[in-house]
Amino acid sequence: MSTNATVEKIVSLCKRRGFVFQSSEIYGGIGGFWDYGPLGVELKNNIKRAWWKAVVQERDDMVGLDAAIVMNPTVWKASGHLDTFADPMVDCKECKHRFRADELAHGVPASAHGHAAEAPVVRCPECGGELTEARMFNLMFRTFVGPVEDDASVAYLRPETAQGMFVNFSNVLQTTRRKLPFGMAQIGKAFRNEITPGNFIFRDREFEQMEIEYFVKPGTDEEWHQHWVEERHRWYLNLGLSPERLRVRRLDREELAHYAKDTYEVEYLFPMGWSELEGIANRTDFDLGRHAESSGRELEYFDEETGEHVVPYVIEPSSGVDRLFMAFLMDAYDEEEVRGETRAILRLHKNLAPTKVAVLPLSRNEKLVPPGREVWALLRPHWMTQFDDAQSIGRRYRRQDEVGTPYCVTIDFDTLTDQAVTIRERDSMEQVRVPIANLVSALREKLEG
Ligand SMILES: [Zn+2]
């Protein structure tokens, strides 16, 4: 990330160019919910695709899953979420504002949920009024299943995707006939009724997770934990995040969640400080053990070598798509002087760029637009593309630079005679002339080579 990137600039870029909009904006919005626009959905899909390719497609020990958002509520009893997935909350007796007690006490956001409430030591930051005692506030969204709204029909929107994988452990084991170690990967929406959402899309109430549950023989868990910490750290570096803004931090004992034996975080240096992109936890046999006890079903693995039944340990790399989205945008954003003008540019990795190629006739001249549209049609089956013929060519290059498009293809008057076009590269602004007949293979070499 250049020093030019601020949260304000990224929020403005996201809105102006159609990456992220406030949810239901025409009605005043709703806190902690965001909509991804035409470019945003492409970037988000590309992040998810890059993750799936690395953790499922390219590995021989991983399979995918897509579990339902609403599950039998007993799942949340067994997982501990009903009892402990809560933040301490205080209300101002004067202005009725609501705050997280741990944030008021420390002046910084707490990194883990489920800690006991601390007595508030300060007064209302809004009006100086007196605060109530702290009460625990469960972060799960409640709903009702079926036509009757009573206690028997209460259900929850999942606060994490992980539990869908634990409760399907036996289904996946039997249908895929896997041996330990093996893992499941899942991408999906999760919901947390955060008391104080904020920092743009960093802390949302509706968000998307990419989670892995990797099942191993007890005793090999620490080794596999290290394996996943290294794998996941490398993934961010491979997609171009600045090494000096990325770190792996081992959590202190008092920071660990109730189910974790050990946890590492991959953190990114945002303008608001080092913040978690991904947690990689050793969850031991906590989850399978709890679900086995609660459901009465055996969630075990038969080890043919030793002839014993074991409850596997679990390594869980868990990341949030929305905060990765924000990190990749902030890291890619740069401004530089080009011929006396400031050029804003997103130096996104080409695999992440929302649009791979923009097709730009030199002008709206009637001789240039038809061959421009023909070139556009030639490229559309292969990549996400844009066609733009409005305003000067210089301004159109800038527009594509600002949204991270790696290549622009320009059709000019020479094209009419030599059947060739110019490919212009985003970062270096270098141009090469390529025959239209070779354009797809030339771009393939650049984008995928
Ligand atoms: Zn107040």
Mean of pLDDT values over 178-192: 97
How far apart, in whole angstroms, are the C-alpha atoms of residue 442 and residue 428? 17
Residue 3 pLDDT class (50, 70, 90 cuts): low
Query: How many angstroms does the Cα of residue 306 sit away from the middle of ligand 1?
Result: 63
The answer to whether the beta carbons of residues 57 and 138 sit under 8 Å apart is no
Q: Is the pLDDT of residue 118 over 80?
A: no
CA 203 / ligand 1 centre spacing (Å) = 23
Q: What is the structure's pLDDT at 135? A: 86
Mean pLDDT of all residues in 292-316: 95
Q: CA 227 from chain center: how many Å?
A: 21
Q: What is the CA(29)–ligand 1 centre distance, in A?
A: 23
Give the model's pLDDT for residue 115: 44
Terminal-to-terminal C-alpha distance of the chain = 25
Q: Is 136 left (phi over 0), alpha (psi -120 to 50) or beta?
A: beta
Q: How far is the CA of 99 from the centre of ligand 1 (A)?
A: 10
**Least confident range of 110-114, 297-301, 435-439:** 110-114
Overall pTM surpassing 0.85 (yes/no):
yes
The rounded Å distance from CA 143 to ligand 1 centre is 30
Q: Would you say residue 296 has pLDDT above 80? A: yes
By the 8 A CB rule, do 197 and 203 touch? yes
d(CA 229, CA 231): 6
Ligand 1 centre from 100 Cα, in Å?
13
Encode pLDDT of 237-283 as tens digits.
999 999 999 999 999 999 998 889 999 999 999 999 999 999 999 99
Task: Determine the pLDDT at residue 121.
Answer: 55
Q: What is the pLDDT of residues 219-235, one digit of tens each?
A: 999 999 999 999 999 99
Alpha carbon of 95 to ligand 1 centroid (Å): 4
Q: Is the pLDDT of residue 370 over 90?
A: yes
CB atoms within 10 A of CB 296: 7
Q: Distance, CA 124 to ligand 1 centroid (Å)?
A: 5
The yes-or-no verdict on residue 373 having pLDDT over 50 is: yes
What is the 117 CA–ligand 1 centroid distance (Å)? 20
Question: What's the pLDDT score for residue 81?
Answer: 92
What average pLDDT does range 54-64 have in this prediction? Answer: 98
pLDDT confidence band for 116 (50 / 70 / 90): very low
CA of 125 to the centre of ligand 1 (A): 7
Distance 92 CA to ligand 1 centre (A): 5
Token match 């390719």: residue? 53
Report how far apart, in Å, the C-alpha atoms of 281 and of each of 112, 145, 222, 266 are: 13, 32, 10, 11
Measure 131 CA to ligand 1 centroid, in angstroms.
8
